[in-house]
Structure 1
Amino acid sequence: MSDESTPESTGPQRPAGGPRKGRRRRRGLLVAAWTAVAIVVVGGTGVGFVYAKLNGNIRSIDINRVLGSDRPRKSPDGSENILVLGSDSRSGGNRKLGGGDVSGARSDTAMIVHVRRGHRSADVVSIPRDTLVLRPACTDSAGATHGAAHAVMFNSAYSTGGAACAVKTVEALTGIRMDHYLEVDFAGFRKLVDTLGGVTVTTSENIDDAKSHLHLKAGTHRLDGRQALGLVRTRHGVGDGSDLGRIQLQQAFVRSLVDEVKHIGLLTSPKKLYDLADTATKALTTDSDLGSVNSLISFAGGLKDIGASHLHMITMPVQYDPADRNRVLVDKAKAAQVWAALKNDRPIPADATRGTATGDARGVVTP
């Protein structure tokens, strides 16, 4: 997620630091953070109109129809791959969130979630928005065609051709079929955090970023929606100031959010549960296979047993572009190790990320 329409200087300023492990055991999966609230309220009420209301909130896109049959094959082993995007594609509330005047839709957070066979473990691979890629020719949901483009930023796929073009670009990049698509918009993200009553994080150093309007002293904070949105947009003043550092903050916050969501329903009123479900489903755009509450319940229900010790989060292996330090290039040899691991439903080898560019922000924020 980002607060700017175009990236500014992101070059590294200091060497990367080592990772810090979280001390609290966390359960859940990235995708479940956005859908679990709907599952709790629907499962607890059994009232027909609730289903109808929540179903009406969800936007869906028929990715399979738009992309046709010229795609990687589905995995035969029961594993699944989900492309998760964070965007400001919906007008209205997103216009009030700041970050400058931006026309059109943007997607500045992209994660491939690979759920392994048996649904007991998962890998999450973040794709930096500043990565220079080949964007294949694609058709958007309105039927307009867009030609292929070389050495363009990854997030241009979404702004050019929407969800279908983003999916096609990821499949071309990885050679892996995306079985599902989930998109969460900025305005809904902010409201979800507020409806939850905030999310607790701990910062190991001060964060002072005028661009994202976030100012936090080192210590533990209960973030409201605006602060949480500022955190996942922050890139200045943490790590090396790059988008890679922002990705590390986003991954840390997702873990905090999942930890928060897993406790709802224990001491929460039915009214609050419904408000959470209503907010979460309004924030979602899905592929057509997940475009109903029942489908989301079935999908997320298969993920609920994945614990933190079985969830592996990395950033796609990249190196800074020597011709432009504001961009990154795919480290093809190391990325190939990642894609091979996902294709074969095997753990990602540690060597796949060793020596690649990092944002030097890991451990700045912890649950």
Structure 2
Amino acid sequence: MGQSSVRGRGERGRRAAVPEPREPGEDGSPPEEERPASPDAGRRSSGGGPNSNRRRGKEPPKRSRGVRILRWTALTLAVLVLGAAGAGYFYYEHLNGNLRKEDLDLGDSKIGKPEPNAAGQTPLNILLIGSDGRNTAENVKLGGAKQDADRKPLGDVQMLVHVSADRSNMSVVSIPRDTRVTIPQCTDPHDGTVYRKTEGPINESLQNGGPGCTVATWKELTGVYIDHFMMIDFSGVVSMADAIGGVPVCVKNNVYSHDSKGHGSGLKLTKGTHNVKGVQALQWLRTRYGFEDNTDIGRAKAQHIYMTSMIRQLKSGTKLSDPGKLMDLAEAATEALTVDHGLGTVKNLYDLGNDLKRVPTKRTTMITMPWEYGGGGEYVLPKPGDAEQTFSLLRNDIALDGKDKKKPDATPAPTEPKEQLPVVVQNGTASTVLGPVSGRASVITSELARLGYAKATANTVLISQADTTVLYPGEDRQGDGLAVAKALKLPKSAAKSSTSVQEITVVVGNDWREGTTYPKAATDDADKTPESADALNGEQKGCMKVNQGYTF
């Protein structure tokens, strides 16, 4: 390798986009720029030395091919990693942007979040709303009734999902869409319109400002605190069903939901099990004319069968093992949903999904609110006794499947004599529907004093709570809480551990609005789900009965 060879390569290097590497020295040593610099390299004068050519603007020495490839590879990998991270971030923001968000509660309920249990856990309540809005061409096509295109949507499907504090079980309660309830005063967050309190079908609550008014209505009806809502429309159901890949459902006979008067969803299935998706899934969920007695009650049962089947399908993981399908599902879900601001990010939805995933399928129970006809069959009313018993189970975090672990019967001894035990009494009757009852804290304080609790005092802060409760600060004070509950003739279940109180605290709820004698439970089976709720377990593969007028 002569000198001319090196000079020729230098000429090419000045023309090349990327310089070629310099040849190693004749003795096999590295080229000049790769040799370790001498200790005094930085002290060389500008007039000479091995770096003088660089300082004089001459061609810089060439790097070895191995070093150059390594550096280009590292740069390429860095670009790819950063690009992927950037794409992930932008896709995450894209999904967040898909979500529509609305206010959680448009009413004036004073119902507070449930007290944490001894482990600091609280239950989770999510209201699911299916809207019949025809606000897009696709929704008009799927929902029919073009004359309703400009009408405000109705909340025709409503289900309250209750996840226990320890995430061991989940209960889902549906309510028929024409159930007559008190719809509280709601203020539309978009235009400030105030909708006065009224009586009407619960599905009309959605028209009074949006899903936040439906949440307010449920809180007033049930006394249950609601953490979040999720709302979906016709096209959302179709896209979600497609993304999941279909859901297996079953009918006991051929069914065609259609008659000469135009009634029916159009669902047409032969006897047996079918994997429904897309429009067919929407038809299944909307079918009223065709199942059992052509009522919303039959439709609710069909929805429960669909949901339990979908849960089993998702838990099996078969539809989520493919990243492409998972992305399709994420896209469909975020485009389909309207949620409250507390659920308004993909991360929050993901965290919620993890909470729900912890619940075993066998501990999932779906019911319809116990009901009875009113107005000569024109509408539905909550069934006296049974409906309130069901709501009480939710409020007290008692599983609808009846499989909660029984607490030991042994009652710990009080830590102090009752005459020396400080007890705080608070009025919890601040209900916006029934209105507060003044003086309840003072009345029960006087009753406790009569019973020997000389240090009982009244807290003048008015709150809203459905059930009368005795809160005690920590498990070591359980005996004191149970003793106070017993003195007031409250059930043992009324005594609860709480991290938010420092003294034994009695909250007089809306279930005890008068007198000094606590009203007895309407049934001896207060901790059991009423038979009228028609419970369906998450592992049951139900099959819908078909109305003989809608078969073929």
Using the size of structure 1 for normalisation, the TM-score is: 0.80
For the residues of structure 1 that align with 2:232 and 2:353, how far apart are their CA atoms?
16
Corresponding letter in the other structure for 2:363: H
Structure 2 residue aligned with 1:60: 101
Asked if the contact 1:214–1:234 (Cα under 8 Å) also holds between the matched residues in 2, the reply is yes
Greater CA drift, 187-196 or 118-127: 187-196
The answer as to 2:211 corresponding to 1:166 is no
> What SS does structure 1 have at the residue aligned with 2:208?
helix
Q: Aligned pair in 2 of structure 1 residues 45, 314: CA closer, same or farther (>3 Å)?
A: farther
Q: Aligned pair in 2 of structure 1 residues 47, 55: CA closer, same or farther (>3 Å)?
A: same
Structure 2 residue aligned with 1:111: 159
Structure 1 residue aligned with 2:91: 50
The answer as to 2:324 corresponding to 1:145 is no
Structure 1 residue aligned with 2:123: 79
The answer as to 2:290 corresponding to 1:237 is yes
Q: 1:192-207 alignment to 2 at 5 Å?
A: 192-207=240-255
Structure 1 residue aligned with 2:301: 248
Asked if the contact 2:154–2:205 (Cα under 8 Å) also holds between the matched residues in 1, the reply is no
Corresponding letter in the other structure for 1:147: R
Corresponding letter in the other structure for 1:364: C
Please report how far the alpha carbon of residue 241 of structure 1 lies from its aligned counterpart in structure 2 after TM superposition.
0.9
For the residues of structure 1 that align with 2:178 and 2:317, how far apart are their CA atoms?
36
Corresponding letter in the other structure for 1:48: Y
For the residues of structure 2 that align with 1:137 and 1:233, how far apart are their CA atoms?
29
For the residues of structure 2 that align with 1:290 and 1:301, how far apart are their CA atoms?
13
Asked if the contact 2:302–2:544 (Cα under 8 Å) also holds between the matched residues in 1, the reply is yes
Structure 2 residue aligned with 1:226: 279
Structure 2 residue aligned with 1:291: 344
Structure number with the higher strand fraction is 1
Asked if the contact 1:319–1:356 (Cα under 8 Å) also holds between the matched residues in 2, the reply is no
> What SS does structure 2 have at the residue aligned with 1:161?
coil
For the residues of structure 2 that align with 1:267 and 1:194, how far apart are their CA atoms?
13
Asked if the contact 2:134–2:143 (Cα under 8 Å) also holds between the matched residues in 1, the reply is no
Asked if the contact 2:372–2:383 (Cα under 8 Å) also holds between the matched residues in 1, the reply is yes
**Which deviations, in whole Å up to 9, do the C-alpha atoms of 1:203-245 show, x marking residues without a partner?**
2222211220111111121213111100111111211111000
For the residues of structure 2 that align with 1:209 and 1:306, how far apart are their CA atoms?
35
Structure 1 residue aligned with 2:483: none
Q: Which has the larger radius of gyration?
A: 2
Please report how far the alpha carbon of residue 46 of structure 1 lies from its aligned counterpart in structure 2 after TM superposition.
8.7
Structure with larger RCO (C-alpha < 8 A, sep 6+): 1
Corresponding letter in the other structure for 1:208: Y
Corresponding letter in the other structure for 1:52: E
Greater CA drift, 257-266 or 239-248: 257-266
Please report how far the alpha carbon of residue 264 of structure 1 lies from its aligned counterpart in structure 2 after TM superposition.
4.6
Corresponding letter in the other structure for 1:79: P
For the residues of structure 2 that align with 1:159 and 1:203, how far apart are their CA atoms?
34
Structure 1 residue aligned with 2:16: none
2:204 is matched with which residue: 153, 156, 170?
Answer: 156
2:531 is matched with which residue: 345, 351, 354?
Answer: 354
Q: 1:88-99 alignment to 2 at 5 Å?
A: 88-89=132-133, 91-92=135-136, 93-99=138-144
Structure 1 residue aligned with 2:178: 130
Please report how far the alpha carbon of residue 324 of structure 1 lies from its aligned counterpart in structure 2 after TM superposition.
2.9
Corresponding letter in the other structure for 1:149: T
Please report how far the alpha carbon of residue 277 of structure 1 lies from its aligned counterpart in structure 2 after TM superposition.
0.8
Structure 1 residue aligned with 2:377: 325
For the residues of structure 1 that align with 2:291 and 2:86, how far apart are their CA atoms?
44
Gaps of 5+ in 2: 1-84, 117-121, 259-263, 401-525, 536-540, 546-552
For the residues of structure 1 that align with 2:104 and 2:543, how far apart are their CA atoms?
37
Please report how far the alpha carbon of residue 303 of structure 1 lies from its aligned counterpart in structure 2 after TM superposition.
1.7
For the residues of structure 2 that align with 1:128 and 1:284, how far apart are their CA atoms?
22
For the residues of structure 1 that align with 2:307 and 2:111, how far apart are their CA atoms?
29
For the residues of structure 1 that align with 2:533 and 2:396, how far apart are their CA atoms?
23
> What SS does structure 2 have at the residue aligned with 1:221?
strand
Gaps of 5+ in 1: 1-43
Structure 2 residue aligned with 1:183: 231
Asked if the contact 1:113–1:125 (Cα under 8 Å) also holds between the matched residues in 2, the reply is yes
Asked if the contact 1:139–1:164 (Cα under 8 Å) also holds between the matched residues in 2, the reply is no
Asked if the contact 2:320–2:326 (Cα under 8 Å) also holds between the matched residues in 1, the reply is no
For the residues of structure 2 that align with 1:132 and 1:240, how far apart are their CA atoms?
20
Asked if the contact 1:71–1:171 (Cα under 8 Å) also holds between the matched residues in 2, the reply is no
> What SS does structure 1 have at the residue aligned with 2:158?
strand
Percent identity of equivalent pairs = 36
**Which deviations, in whole Å up to 9, do the C-alpha atoms of 1:62-95 show, x marking residues without a partner?**
225x446x43110112112111111134722211
**Which deviations, in whole Å up to 9, do the C-alpha atoms of 1:237-278 show, x marking residues without a partner?**
211111000000001011122223334566753222212110
For the residues of structure 2 that align with 1:356 and 1:265, how far apart are their CA atoms?
32
Corresponding letter in the other structure for 1:155: N
Using the size of structure 2 for normalisation, the TM-score is: 0.54
**Which deviations, in whole Å up to 9, do the C-alpha atoms of 1:16-50 show, x marking residues without a partner?**
xxxxxxxxxxxxxxxxxxxxxxxxxxxx9992122
Q: Aligned pair in 2 of structure 1 residues 240, 144: CA closer, same or farther (>3 Å)?
A: same
For the residues of structure 2 that align with 1:175 and 1:334, how far apart are their CA atoms?
15
Asked if the contact 2:250–2:542 (Cα under 8 Å) also holds between the matched residues in 1, the reply is no
Corresponding letter in the other structure for 1:199: V
Equivalent pairs, count? 316
**Which deviations, in whole Å up to 9, do the C-alpha atoms of 1:154-212 show, x marking residues without a partner?**
10101233111101111110111111111122101101212333222222222211220
Structure 2 residue aligned with 1:276: 329
> What SS does structure 1 have at the residue aligned with 2:356?
coil
Q: Aligned pair in 2 of structure 1 residues 140, 132: CA closer, same or farther (>3 Å)?
A: same
